[in-house]
Amino acid sequence: MGSSFGRIFKLTTWGESHGPALGVVVEGCPAGVALDLADIQHELDRRRVGQSKVTSPRNERDQAELLSGVFEGVTTGAPISLITYNRDVDSSKYENLRDVFRPGHADYTYWAKYGHRDHRGGGRSSARETWGRVAAGAIARKILASVGVEVYGFTREIGGIAMERFERDQIERNLVRCPDPEAAERMVTAITTAKDEQDSLGGIVEARATGVPPGLGEPTFDKLDALIGQAMLSIPAVKGVELGGGFAVVRSRGSAANDAFYLDDGRVRTRTNNAGGSLGGLSSGEELIVRVAVKPTSSVARPQETIDMTMQPRTILVEGRHDPSVVPRAVPVVEAMLAIVLADLLLLNRAARIDWPAG
């Protein structure tokens, strides 16, 4: 259970880190969307390992095959199946982890739940699963683009080093996807230092969506905020999520926290955006702002105290190929999940009014 997400635009991911292949099935993509495999591959490449010295050296090309749902370059309304075969699998480093639980990982909890697990590379719990999310996110972006919505993301903070200025065009120009090139440089140094010390770093990723029409979200339990909450906290290593003012806004007063409405050239705007683009769980038309907390990578090549499946104490040292910080590679995953939530709510919104206007 739980491998599907979405109400109308619905993805189902499958596959294990060291299994033969990984994939995603996307249901509910409307017919008539021009879809090119290159659009999808572009996003997948942004998430790929082996990109630089700050990512895992595992070498996967992550090349997608498009197996259904598109005919002559256009979606047909049928489910879209995308698959990638694992190429550079090296399970040897995991053989000694077969019967032991790595701290910070899902080893123990999967074993407790299922009584049986694929221990190789984390199996199903591996972040490698996010391949399918990014592929689906690329499709979601095409739907969003049709109404002028754009999603982008960046690194706010890594290892305690926070960005101090925002230059959007800098984001993809450095290894950590930080809009502040100087902070980016310090982040890279921090990561390589941590790596040299057999350790790892966490950080904060922010994603934004512009051009979001007002009214997206479904009251009560499928609020925009709520679905973003589910989407973000379903990403491996994410331990927190906030919108707009988030945890900081709790220290302000209502009179300051409220965003005043005004009319800007015929469009309803707010003077501030503490709400982060969502009011009462529906999009307000302001920029949507989401931040997620990414914990430091759990795999560290240091001796750690743990137990094994026979309930004996053990000391382990987790080898294998890992990202010293997953934050930079989490950026496209966070973006993808935001795009998926928005595309789903956009399609769902068409049923909100009996006289729903086309578009």
Q: Please identify, using beta-carbon distances, which residue of 96 and 252 lies nearer to its own copies.
A: 252
CB atoms within 10 A of CB 101: 21
Cβ proximity to its own copies, 78 vs 99, nearer residue: 78
Which C-beta is closer to its own copies: that of 173 or that of 342? 342
Q: Residue 83 has which token pair?
A: 């698959």
By residue count, the chain amounts to 359
Q: Tell me how far, at minimum, the Cβ of 62 lies from its own copies, in Å.
A: 16
**Sign of the CA dihedral running 310, 311, 314, 318:** positive
For its own copies, the closer of residues 25 and 54 by Cβ is 25
Q: Given the structure tokens 């739940």, which residue do they identify?
A: 113
**CB closer to its own copies out of 8 and 89:** 8
Nearest residue to 17 via CA among 225, 213, 266, 299 = 299
Distance separating alpha carbons of residues 183 and 176, to the nearest angstrom: 10
CB of 321 to its own copies, least distance (A): 15
**Shortest distance in whole angstroms from residue 273 CB to its own copies:** 12
Minimum CB–partner distance for residue 249 and its own copies (Å)? 5
CA 171 – CA 316 distance, rounded (Å): 37
Structure tokens given for 253: 């007063």
Q: Which residues, including other chains, have CB under 8 Å from residue 284's CB and lie 6 or more apart? A: 214, 259, 270, 275, 277, 278
Nearer to its own copies (CB atom), residue 151 or residue 293: 293
d(CA 343, CA 356): 17
Q: Which is nearer to its own copies, 84 or 170 (CB)?
A: 84
| Token representation of residue 142 | 């095409």
CB of 27 to its own copies, least distance (A): 5
Cβ proximity to its own copies: between 38 and 220 the closer is: 220
Q: Are 150 and 144 in contact (CB under 8 A)?
A: yes
Side-chain half-sphere CA neighbours of 220 within 13 A? 0
Q: Is 43 exposed, middle or buried (0-12, 13-18, 19+ CB in 10 A)?
A: buried
Other C-beta atoms lying within 10 Å of the C-beta of residue 249: 15
C-alpha gyration radius of the chain = 21
User: Nearest approach, Cβ of 82 to its own copies (angstroms)?
Assistant: 10
Contact assessment for residue 30 and residue 347, using Cβ atoms and an 8 Å cutoff = yes
Minimum gap (Å) between residue 23 Cβ and its own copies:
6
Q: How far is the CB of 280 from its own copies (least distance, A)?
A: 2
Q: Which is nearer to its own copies, 151 or 275 (CB)?
A: 275
Nearest distance from C-beta of residue 165 to its own copies, angstroms:
20
